Amino acid sequence: MAEVVLHGIAKTFGDTVAVDDLSLTIRDGEFVVLLGPTGAGKTTTLRLIAGLERPDCGRVTIAGRDVGRQSPAERDVAFVFQQYSLYPHLSVYDNLAFPLRSPARRLGVEEIDRRVREVARMVRIEHKLQNRSTRLSGGEMQRVAIGRALVRRPAIYLMDEPLSSLDAKLRAELRLELKRIQKELGSTLLYVTHDQIEAMTMADRIGILSEGRLVQIGTPREIYADPANLHVAARLGQPHINLLPIDLLPGAAVPSGALTIGARTEHLEIATSAQGNAEVDWIEHLGDQNHLHIRVRGHKLVTLADPYLSIKPGDRINLTLRQPLYFGPDGERLR
């Protein structure tokens, strides 16, 4: 396990700037999640660390040594790919054993067998060890892919949306499991996802990427409660943050220069009132949550509904802001 540092790395493909002057420190034993829209450069960042791409400029250091001239094998990283993860001509067992059998490692047959079985139990695939890897479901394949990374103890684990094709239940289980394993081993892990629940629950720190730039990095709490700009604020929160003109609702202490107010559920106070400033449009029942769709003078808002609040579509309510977020014309946060 080791600290991994990116010093101002950049990578362009033709005209596309995939990664732009990115600096990031992943501390020894830290779980960092990269969050960003599609095409933001998340995969490219992982590939730059692994040595599968050469940066146009900047340096990557792993445990203090500059790895710029090292091959992927020498860098001692493990990678879980977004797709095409398993060797199709090998069985599950051989897939898991593959990294251990590398000529550079030279482990004994028994040692390999012990570690393969241990990791198979960890990712719950031990009943399919002899299967051809092409005869697995998508979820099983992803578990084997994760297992193939976990079978080693590299300087850093790089995982590119490893849980994306699992069903919700298994995903929740593996999320916990992965976090537990990481803590137990004290592993350094850089993890890419689109899923904010994964990011919020697993990360020590979350980095938000946009168009190849690292927009903000901080603890999940910081990123959620204290976003640096509109882009970051829009990435987290379910339902999505509501963006409103500053004079729409009462209760705001607007700083000068603010153009937009960002209001999540916790920034909105609801009271039933026949003379209220808003009207309930409809209520979306998602099972564990109820989304309340509200209309205020032609603007639409979505917020979480208190299950004990007795309102129905058509009711009038009074909506007040409570310490919302303010953004300037360039989208930067104003405090």
Partner 1 sequence: MSSVNTAAHSVVEPTPTAKRIAGTIVILYALVTMIPLAWIFLTSIKSPPDSISYPPKVVFTPTLEGFCNLFTTRTRQTPDYIQALPPPTGTCDEITRGRNMVIAGPSNYWPRFGNSLLIAFGSTFLAVSLGTLAAYGFSRFRVPLADDLLFFILSTRMMPPIAVAIPIYLMYRQFGLSDTALGMILLYTAVNVSLAVWLLKGFIDEIPREYEEAAMIDGYTRLQAFWKVVLPQATTGIAATAIFCLIFAWNEYAFAVLLTSGSAQTAPPFIPTIIGEGGQDWPAVAAGTTIFLVPILVFTIILRKQLLRGITFGAVRK
Ligand X SMILES: Nc1ncnc2c1ncn2[C@@H]1O[C@H](COP(=O)(O)OP(=O)(O)OP(=O)(O)O)[C@@H](O)[C@H]1O
Residues that bind partner 1 (CB under 8 A): 50-52, 71-73, 75, 77-79, 81, 83-85, 87-89, 98-99, 102-105, 148, 152
Q: How far apart are CA 328 and CA 255, in angstroms?
A: 9
| Closer residue to Mg ion in complex, CB, 37/251 | 37
| Closer residue to ligand X in complex, CB, 125/223 | 223
Residue 39: name its binding partner from Mg ion, ligand X, partner 1, none (Cβ under 5 to 8 Å by kind): ligand X
Binds ligand X by CB under 6 A, chosen from 5, 31, 33, 44 = 44
Residue 156: name its binding partner from ligand X, Mg ion, partner 1, none (Cβ under 5 to 8 Å by kind): none
Binds ligand X by CB under 6 A, chosen from 30, 36, 48, 199 = 36
> Does residue 37 have a cis bond before it (omega within 30 degrees)?
no
Count of residues that interact with ligand X, criterion CB under 6 A: 12
Dig out the tokens for 186 from the structure.
Answer: 């004290």
Binds ligand X by CB under 6 A, chosen from 5, 32, 40, 189 = 40
| Closer residue to Mg ion in complex, CB, 43/229 | 43
Helices 168-185, 138-150: inter-axial angle, 10-degree rounding: 0
**Side chain identity at residue 279, one-letter code:** E
Q: Give the binding range for ligand X (CB under 6 A) out of 2-10, 40-48, 111-119, 227-235.
A: 40-48
Give the residue from 200, 234, 231 showing the smallest Cα distance to 218.
200
Q: How far apart are CA 55 and CA 76, in angstroms?
A: 18
Give the residue from 90, 60, 101, 58 showing the smallest Cα distance to 77.
60
Dig out the tokens for 284 from the structure.
Answer: 């979306």
| Rounded least distance, CB 38 to Mg ion, Å | 7
| Closer residue to ligand X in complex, CB, 38/130 | 38
Q: State which residue has the least CB distance to Mg ion.
A: 43
| Rounded least distance, CB 78 to ligand X, Å | 18
**DSSP code at position 306:** P
Coil vs helix vs strand at 188: coil
56 binds ligand X (CB under 6 A): no
| Closer residue to Mg ion in complex, CB, 43/133 | 43
Enumerate residues 6+ apart whose C-beta is below 8 A from 23: 6, 7, 8, 9, 58, 214
Q: How far apart are CA 98 and CA 325, in angstroms?
A: 50
Q: Which residues bind Mg ion (CB under 5 A)?
A: 43
| Rounded least distance, CB 33 to ligand X, Å | 13
Strand-strand pairing, 268-272 and 242-245: unpaired
39 binds ligand X (CB under 6 A): yes
| Closer residue to partner 1 in complex, CB, 84/308 | 84
| Closer residue to Mg ion in complex, CB, 46/178 | 46
| Closer residue to Mg ion in complex, CB, 43/95 | 43
Dig out the tokens for 79 from the structure.
Answer: 């990678």
41 binds ligand X (CB under 6 A): yes
**Cβ contact 313:280 at 8 Å:** yes
Give the residue from 65, 61, 5, 59 showing the smallest Cα distance to 30.
5
Show the DSSP H helices in the chain as ranges.
42-50, 72-75, 92-97, 109-122, 138-150, 168-185, 196-202, 220-225, 230-235
| Rounded least distance, CB 203 to ligand X, Å | 17
Residues 10-29, one symbol each (x = binds ligand X by CB under 6 A, - = not), give ---x--x-x-----------
Using CB under 6 A as the criterion, which residues of the chain lie in contact with ligand X when the complex forms? Answer: 13, 16, 18, 36, 38-44, 82
